[in-house]
Structure 1
Amino acid sequence: MRITAADVPALERGVALLGSGGGGDTVTAAVLLRRLTESGREPVVHRIADLLPDTLVVPTGIVGATAAFAEKLPSGDEFASAIAAIERWTGQRAQALMTIEIGGLNGLLPLVVAQELGLAYVDADLSGRGLPRLDQFSVAATGRGVAPAAMAEPGGRVVVLAAAADSVVENGVRAFLSSSGGWAAIALAPIPAGELADHAVLDTTSEALALGARVLAAGESPDLAVLETALDGQVLARGRVLEVSRHIGPGQHGHPGFGRGSATLTDHRDGALLRLEMENEYLLALRDGLPVASTPDVLSVLDRRTGVPLQCDAIRAGVEVDVVCLAASPFWTDPRRRPLLEPRAYGIDCDPVVAP
């Protein structure tokens, strides 16, 4: 599958929806991808079946404060440095890339990186949506593990976290980011293409493109039935945001956690109150106090007028929105893996709500 300039708006909309309110603003990454395609350098997305089983695929992407990425743009060397570092550490040469996360800007940026480095790009990722922590990646869920992981930050520093439990790697990454300008490029150890079916979420780029194309085709301010058909999902509420509250979430060992908050709106259809609990992503929806949807399903909030997904840090009182729910990737419906993404993984004492 070749990504053309005409595909960029649909792919951008699809990855923004799958970000579930997180994953970072897609605008900058979409500009870079559009410029690449308009210059005639169209990325090709390869299905796993198209690759030899021993093709070494490096997961890569941006970690950290994605808002800082737009303010402190990359020099162009960060990804190459991180990938080179993981190659040196593992003694394996990258033959293809995949993204660590299809949701948000990481659904777009690694396509640009693969084209710039002359590497194949694989239709898979380690998340199937937007996720805040490395220890929630699919390789953590399957026991393969996140380490080793190499990071390169805009100031030129490169760090390799060689071996540790996934939670320790996550904490080490956050410690590095706190002193590095807020974001870094990351590369994980190569995974043979023949093993990706067991350790990754497959076909996520092609599915994001198809999702975005359907939603864009539905037009602005579509009827509920049209929107639900385009999303292949459910509209939980349609109404005006009444209140948004934010606070610092629970952390570990005395350190503050991610920003937490909630947004409340009235459903214009029947007057019910819908409250969204959020961290970096939208996590739980309660309708008149009863849970009706939750992670690992993808909750997203769309501007009612434009249909553009609203990030958790951008939702404001007074905005007319549609709150929607998309079913989680089958990878995360496995009861052995679901605990990594269910509400209690974020400190919310609630059972996951399974989409019908």
Structure 2
Amino acid sequence: MKIDEQTLKDLSVGATVLGSGGGGYPGYDLLMAKKVLEDYGPPELVALEDLKEEAMVLPIAFVGAPLVNLEILPSGNELDCLIDQVERVTGKRVTHLMAAEIGGANALAPFLYASKRKLPIVDADTIGRAFPELQMSACNVRGVSASPAFLVDILGNTVCVEAKDADTLERLARKIIVEMGSTALMGIYLMSGVQAKKTCIKKSVSYACQIGKKLREAYKEKKSLGELLQEIGGKVIGEGVIESIKQSVQDGFLRGTVHISSPHEILVLNYQNEFLQVSNSKGKVFTTPDIITLFEKDSLKPITSECLLYGARVEIAVLNGPDIWKEEKGLALVGPRAFGLTI
């Protein structure tokens, strides 16, 4: 697939759909990716199955509270610091970049740096959507170690974190992320080509681009959101006006509740960076690991959690997530109980 400006736009939209409200608003990152494309040319996008066994894949993502990322923007130099530390600690050369999650701005993270570093990007990610915590990864389910993990802030401060398991790493790293201003670039789940083929969600970049393209075409052709979602295995579960938003940054996450009002019902949406559960006044509940996404009613644009606005007219949609999250181990990590939610 050729990477051009339109591809990046489609990726940013499709990844926002798959991000389920998380991953960060991609507007600024899209501008940076376009600038990198203009200055250094398009990066190479390689298929997961084409990785050599000895490849060294570095999944990256911006971590912290998405609301903070609207004010503290990437410098563009984070990856240089990150790779220097990774190679110094591991003694291995990074050969490929990958989005740690195909959600929102994080799907664009490799595209901010790959061409400048002349590193190919793998058409895959480690989640197949977005989730807020570091242990919530297919790599963790499949036995790839989260350690060592690497953090760098916009000032170039770097930290290497090693822990006995992914849950412990999440707790330790989250405290560091908060001290970094609740935003940082992270490299985690470093893996070989062999490990990547066994654990990662393949073709997720291509899939996000396809969704973005379908949304763009649907808007031009004046299709309804419901018609579009039928093509990608999703459905509209409600619509209305955002009546109230209660949210705050807690422990490095954006947590909140939204009430969406329509003439027939009140929808209640809970989130922790990502939209996790929506229920209606009849008691029907949709919940993680399904992908819950909000769209602007008129423009069909997907909305991230930090961009929710009082009075906005929205449609709520549900899409199927990757099958791995419906397995027993996957549900234990990302099902409603993992977030303290009940059905």
In the superposition, the TM-score normalised over structure 1's length comes to 0.89
Q: Deviations over 1:53-104 (max 9, x none)?
A: 2212111121123443443333333212112212222222111111111101
Q: Give 1:232's aligned amino acid.
A: G
Q: Give 1:262's aligned amino acid.
A: T
| Mapped pair 1:261 → 2:262 | no
Range with bigger deviation, 152-161 or 72-81: 72-81
> Cα 1:230–1:30, aligned 2, differ >3 Å: closer, same or farther?
farther
What's the % identity of the aligned pairs? 27
Q: Note the C-alpha offset of 1:43.
A: 1.9
Aligned to 1:348: 341
Q: How does 1:196-345 map to 2 (within 5 A)?
A: 196-219=196-219, 222-246=223-247, 258-267=253-262, 271-345=264-338
8 Å Cα contact 2:8-2:33 kept in structure 1: yes
Q: Whole-Å Cα distance in 1 between the matches of residues 329 and 182 of structure 2?
A: 33
8 Å Cα contact 2:58-2:98 kept in structure 1: yes
Q: Whole-Å Cα distance in 1 between the matches of residues 198 and 262 of structure 2?
A: 41
> Cα 1:120–1:259, aligned 2, differ >3 Å: closer, same or farther?
closer
> Cα 1:225–1:308, aligned 2, differ >3 Å: closer, same or farther?
closer
Q: Whole-Å Cα distance in 1 between the matches of residues 303 and 168 of structure 2?
A: 31
> Cα 1:248–1:183, aligned 2, differ >3 Å: closer, same or farther?
closer
Find runs of 4+ consecutive structure 1 residues off by over 6 angstroms. Answer: none
Aligned to 1:92: 92
Aligned to 2:106: 106
Q: Note the C-alpha offset of 1:209.
A: 0.4
Q: Note the C-alpha offset of 1:248.
A: 6.9
Q: Whole-Å Cα distance in 1 between the matches of residues 249 and 159 of structure 2?
A: 28
Q: Give 2:142's aligned amino acid.
A: T
Q: How does 1:87-166 map to 2 (within 5 A)?
A: 87-166=87-166
> Cα 1:205–1:258, aligned 2, differ >3 Å: closer, same or farther?
same
In the superposition, the TM-score normalised over structure 2's length comes to 0.92
What is the RMSD computed on CA atoms of the aligned residues?
A: 2.1
8 Å Cα contact 1:147-1:162 kept in structure 2: yes
Q: Deviations over 1:294-326 (max 9, x none)?
A: 111110111111122222233233211110011
Give the unaligned 5+ runs of structure 2: none
Q: Give 2:135's aligned amino acid.
A: D
Higher relative contact order (CA 8 A, sep 6+): 2
Q: Deviations over 1:240-275 (max 9, x none)?
A: 2233333677xxxxxx5744332222456xx13322
Range with bigger deviation, 229-238 or 26-35: 229-238
Q: Give 1:117's aligned amino acid.
A: R
> Cα 1:304–1:151, aligned 2, differ >3 Å: closer, same or farther?
same
Q: Give 1:243's aligned amino acid.
A: S
Give the unaligned 5+ runs of structure 1: 250-255, 351-356
8 Å Cα contact 2:37-2:115 kept in structure 1: no
Tell me how many residue pairs correspond in the alignment: 342
